[in-house]
């Protein structure tokens, strides 16, 4: 359904336009690429890649932005707005917000030292969001490996290669103390830290994230090359330096089929890049709206046609509907 040529005649420069906005954003925010690929992931896992995550709260939309995995965590929305505005100036009403997220994800990887690939395009934008599904479908940092596997299978990805390759996106970006603090002092009510966490890293993380401290303090997901898209994430797992429990489990769960995949990606960056591209394309193909389904939003934050509902007070709304 999706095609690399979807905008060839209607918006041939769309990728360059998005890349330019991204490069500009990078100048003041080295983390922005990581934040943007995460938006694409959190979009695709909830009713497919339909830009549902970009919709703001209204009287009829329960924004996914306030689902637990996104709230005070998902970021980059202003840069997506800038991309959309730039694309609209060149090709009004043509390019979906879902495709902008897809292109931004790929360009973010390429600009950070990772592989570039050909994006498949032609997604359209949803007219709904689903906060409940965002809470149910998105994996959490304290999930067991079995739970992580379930979440990937549940959306139609496989629970070994896709899971391990896509987790490799934690080669860049940041996480807040609250997402890994369970590992530091009293892991699973044992009174001890997570035994699969390197003791040197444990001491550093305890300093950064003391018990009762500020849970929103940030640290690097990849302790070796924090801003480079490379395969060091997998090397970190081999030396017990995965930041999140969900990262370290891929390597440290006894008997898991994911351990061998971590070892391959750690020893062979080309193999990681190749698998990552395949899995990103598979993720980008999850339940896209195509043809005349959905719409091309003119503003990524709201559905077309009733753009001022959320700015109206409820009494004004009542007045209008009574006419």
Work out whether 80 is an interface residue with ligand HEM (CB under 6 A).
Answer: no
Residue 241's closest CA among 208, 210, 207, 201? 201
The minimum distance between CB 92 and ligand HEM, in angstroms, equals 30
Q: By CB under 6 A, is residue 193 in contact with ligand HEM?
A: no
Examine residue 225 and tell whether it contacts ligand HEM (CB under 6 A). no
Nearer to ligand HEM, 91 or 208 (CB): 208
For residues 189 and 117, give the distance between their C-alpha atoms in angstroms, rounded to a whole number.
Answer: 45
Question: Quick one: DSSP state of residue 124?
Answer: B
CA distances from 147 to 190, 223, 271 (A): 21, 25, 26
Residue (21 or 79) nearer to ligand HEM, CB: 79
| DSSP element (H, E) containing 219 | strand 218-220
Asked if 175 is part of the footprint of ligand HEM (rule: CB under 6 A), the reply reads yes
237 binds ligand HEM (CB under 6 A): no
Binding at 50: pick from ligand HEM, Ca ion, none (beta carbon under 5-8 Å per type): Ca ion
CB of residue 280 vs ligand HEM: minimum separation in angstroms? Answer: 7
Q: Examine residue 166 and tell whether it contacts ligand HEM (CB under 6 A).
A: yes
Rule CB under 6 A: say whether 75 interacts with ligand HEM: yes
Report phi then psi at 121, rounded to 5: -130, 170
Q: Is 40 among the catalytic positions?
A: no
> Are the beta carbons of 106 and 120 closer than 8 angstroms?
no
- Report if residue 53 touches ligand HEM, rule: CB under 6 A: no
DSSP annotation of 199 reads H
Is residue 157 within 8 Å of 137, Cβ to Cβ?
no
222 counts as binding Ca ion under rule CB under 5 A = yes
Based on CB atoms, which residue is closest to ligand HEM, 115 or 140? Answer: 140
Dist. CA 256–CA 246, nearest whole Å: 13
The count of other CB atoms within 10 Å of the CB of residue 132 is: 12
Q: Which is nearer to ligand HEM, 7 or 265 (CB)?
A: 265
Per-residue binding string, Ca ion, 75-114, x by CB under 5 A, is: ----------------------------------------
User: Does 147 engage in binding with ligand HEM (CB under 6 A)?
Assistant: no
- Binding of ligand HEM by 238 (CB under 6 A): no
Binding test (CB under 6 A) with ligand HEM, winner from 148, 197, 289, 303: 148
Burial class (CB in 10 A: 0-12, 13-18, 19+), 148: buried
Distances (CA, A) of 266 to 242, 259, 260: 13, 11, 10
- Cα torsion 253, 34, 269, 19 to 10°: value is 160
Could you tell me the smallest distance in angstroms from the CB atom of residue 13 to ligand HEM?
26
Q: For 255, which DSSP code?
A: T
Selected from 35, 47, 70, 275, the binder of Ca ion by CB under 5 A is: 47
Radius of gyration of the chain (CA): 20
Q: Does 170 bind ligand HEM (CB under 6 A)?
A: yes
Residues at the interface with ligand HEM (CB under 6 A): 31, 34-35, 37-38, 41, 73, 75, 139-141, 143, 148, 166-167, 169-170, 172-176, 179, 221, 244, 246
């Amino acid at each position: 359904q999706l095609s690399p040529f979807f905008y060839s005649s209607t918006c041939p420069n769309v990728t360059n336009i998005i890349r330019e906005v991204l490069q500009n954003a990078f100048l003041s925010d080295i983390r922005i690429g990581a934040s943007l690929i995460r938006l694409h992931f959190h979009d695709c896992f909830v009713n497919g890649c339909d830009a549902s995550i970009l919709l703001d709260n209204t009287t009829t939309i329960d924004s996914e932005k306030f689902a637990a995995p996104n709230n005070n965590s998902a970021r980059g929305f202003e840069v997506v707005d800038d991309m959309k505005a730039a694309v609209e100036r060149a090709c009004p009403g043509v390019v979906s917000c879902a495709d902008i997220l897809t292109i931004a994800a790929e360009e973010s990887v390429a600009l950070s030292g990772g592989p570039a690939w050909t994006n498949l395009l032609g997604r359209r934008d949803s007219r709904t969001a689903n906060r409940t599904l965002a809470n149910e479908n998105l994996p959490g940092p304290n999930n067991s490996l079995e739970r992580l596997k379930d979440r990937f299978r549940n959306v139609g990805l496989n629970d070994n290669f896709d899971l391990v390759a896509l987790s490799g996106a934690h080669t860049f970006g940041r996480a807040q103390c609250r997402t890994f603090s369970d590992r530091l002092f009293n892991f699973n009510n044992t009174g001890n830290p997570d035994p699969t966490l390197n003791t040197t890293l444990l001491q550093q993380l305890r300093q950064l994230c003391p018990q009762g401290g500020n849970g929103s303090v940030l640290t690097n997901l990849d302790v070796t090359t924090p801003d480079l898209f490379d395969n060091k994430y997998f090397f970190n797992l081999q030396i017990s330096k995965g930041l999140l429990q969900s990262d370290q489990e891929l390597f440290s769960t006894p008997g898991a089929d994911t351990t061998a995949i971590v070892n391959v990606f750690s020893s062979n960056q080309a193999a990681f890049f190749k698998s990552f591209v395949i899995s990103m394309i598979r993720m980008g193909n999850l339940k896209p709206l195509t043809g005349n389904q959905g719409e091309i939003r003119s503003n990524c934050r709201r559905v077309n046609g009733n753009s001022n509902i959320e700015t109206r007070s409820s009494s004004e709304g009542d007045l209008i509907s009574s006419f």
